Amino acid sequence: MTEQLQTELRAALRERAAQVPAASIARLAHLDYHPRTRRLRPPVAIGALAGAAGTAGAVAVVISLSAGASNAFAGWSPTPTRPGPDQLAAASADCQTQSPISGLPLKLADTRGPFTFSVYADANSSATCIKGPTFTAVSNNTTSAPITVPAGHILLSSSHASNRGGAAYSWADGRTGDGVSAVTLNLDDGDTVQATVANGWFVAWWPGAHDVKSAAITTAAGTTTQTFDLGHQSPCGPMPCAGGEGGRSSSVANGVGGGGPVSASGSSSIIGPATGSASGHSSASGAGSGSSQGGAQSYGISR
Amino acid sequence: MEQRRADFENFVAQNTDALVRTAYLIVWDLPEAEDLVQEALLKVARRWHRVRRMEHPVAYARRILVNLALGGAERRSRRRQELTGEALADRHDQRTESNPVETQDELMRALAALPPRQRTVLVLRYFLDLPEAEVAAAMKCSLGTVKSTASRGLARLEQTMRTTNDTRSIPT
């Protein structure tokens, strides 16, 4: 029986594996997995900007991006910028027509150059929308029960995506506990990105696919640096994460926390001017550089 | 630098097919498998300067993939049992007689219901035909664990199949 079973098992596995569409494999094979290597900072530029204090980092990054492999995110800065005239209105008009967002109240909008990253959320659902000069991308998450984050901490959801033009970008968003007034993310390549914080939420995004390693979280008591283990299955860890844990998932996360079972699910899509194809829970449509290639998502709570 | 990138692109071109199909069999869900492969390849890309010097870079990628897959496997398993079990149960209700397709359906259902680690061992052994030592390396466990996990997985499949056959042979 075992030999026969092994034979049948091989056949069953082959049959199941054959269900993977060729388009899925081709899509993954043609993604750019080198969206951004370590940022190049020409010595002349650093020297010239060294005295520019607060703006030095931002300018250096803009230089590095334009000199790097992709200029898809030209104008991005590691600190939020003041929105241009009509920038927020244009983003809102675009984003709110998308079904994941429809009906959700706006929690905050993060602007970096020509890009607007908005977070819409209610107690159990959230959706993000990034609008740039050439594309608009939407993703959403739902949880089965509201999650309460401990004071002075953040619940972080980190995602990666890349566009058809070969440029990857990542973002982190999530809820803030009481008292959190500022969040600065430290990426695993040593760079930092300052988040926008408002209404119990924060968001930040950056070109490339580097992960969040830690965050500097500011409260009235000062600033503490808190680390994340984004692969952790129980992101609430020892923290009293009321309402349950977030889990770690690209599409579905669930777990059982102190407040009972909580599940979360999400999807993402990008909206462009033309029709396109969809694959799995990530859908893509559009033309040129305005097309999502899906992504990966992680959750973690600061420890 | 250009050569390094070309090497990586060549690596991706050669191995994405097997990685996606392997991930699909392990997690039993295509969107999840796609995300896992993308995440695994991003991690490989970040370390490619070291990985490319390894004797078998694909083994490294496979180890990352398996680690990612098993990292979130338990909740996926629960969800899969709810979803796939129902879907296949519906198909089962419609069948009237035994045939090879039916047997494979039962096997599929039994595979979907296996604990993630058992299914992973069986996928690596019987889909990729990896030697037990390579399965152990991919799963970061001992050879003995691979043997015992595979044995338990096969026994569970066998038991499921036997139960199904017994049920099927009961006259109505």
Instruction: Please name the member of B34, B45, B127 whose beta carbon is closest to the beta carbon of A294.
Output: B34
3-state secondary structure string across B2-70: HHHHHHHHHHHHHHHHHHHHHHHHHHCCHHHHHHHHHHHHHHHHHCHHHHCCCCCHHHHHHHHHHHHHH
Does the pLDDT value for residue A139 go beyond 70? Answer: yes
Give the residue on B whose Cα is nearest the Cα of A3: B154
* CA gap B148, A127 in Å, rounded: 45
Residue B51 has pLDDT above 50, yes or no: yes
Question: SS in 3 state form for A191-253?
Answer: CEEECEEECCEEEEEEECCCCEEEEEEEECCEEEEEECCCCCCCCCCCCCCCCCCCCCCCCEE
Check if A6 contacts B (Cβ < 8 Å): yes
Q: Among A50-64, A140-154, A212-226, B97-111, which range has the highest average pLDDT?
A: A212-226
Place A198 in a pLDDT band, splitting at 50, 70 and 90. Answer: very high
Kindly report the average pLDDT of chain B as a whole number. Answer: 79
Looking only at the bridges linking them, the beta strands covering A278-279 and A252-257 are unpaired
Answer whether B22's CB lies under 8 Å from B65's CB: yes
Model confidence at A249: pLDDT above 90 = no
Give the model's pLDDT for residue B95. 32
pLDDT class of B32 with cuts at 50, 70, 90:
confident
Query: Regarding beta strands A168-176 and A201-207, do their DSSP bridges make them parallel or antiparallel, or are they unpaired?
Result: antiparallel
- Res A156 pLDDT > 60: yes
Q: Least CB-CB distance to A9: which of B45, B72, B157?
A: B157
pLDDT digits (tens, 9 = 90+) for A85-96: 888 988 888 887
Assembly ipTM: 0.81
pLDDT band at A67 (very low <50, low <70, confident <90, very high): very low
Residue A222's contacts (CB-CB under 8 Å, 6 or more residues apart) are: none
Distance CA A218, CA A214 (A): 13
Closest CA to B107 of B120, B95, B92, B124: B92
Q: Which helix (H) or strand (E) holds B165?
A: helix B143-169
Q: Which of B13, B41, B75 is nearest residue A247 as measured by Cβ atoms?
A: B75
| A-B contacts at Cβ under 8 angstroms | 137
Please identify among residues 52-91 of chain B the ones whose CB lies closer than 8 Å to any CB of chain A: 68, 71-72, 74-76, 78-79
Q: Flag if B104 and A8 touch (Cβ within 8 Å).
A: yes
Distance CA B150, CA A275 (A): 46
Find out whether A223 and A188 touch, Cβ atoms under 8 Å: no
Higher pLDDT, A178 or B99: A178
Percent of chain B with pLDDT strictly greater than 70: 75
CA distance A149 to A179: 11
At what angle are helices A2-17 and B2-27 packed, to 10 degrees?
120
Q: Tell me the pLDDT band of B73, cut-offs 50, 70 and 90.
A: low
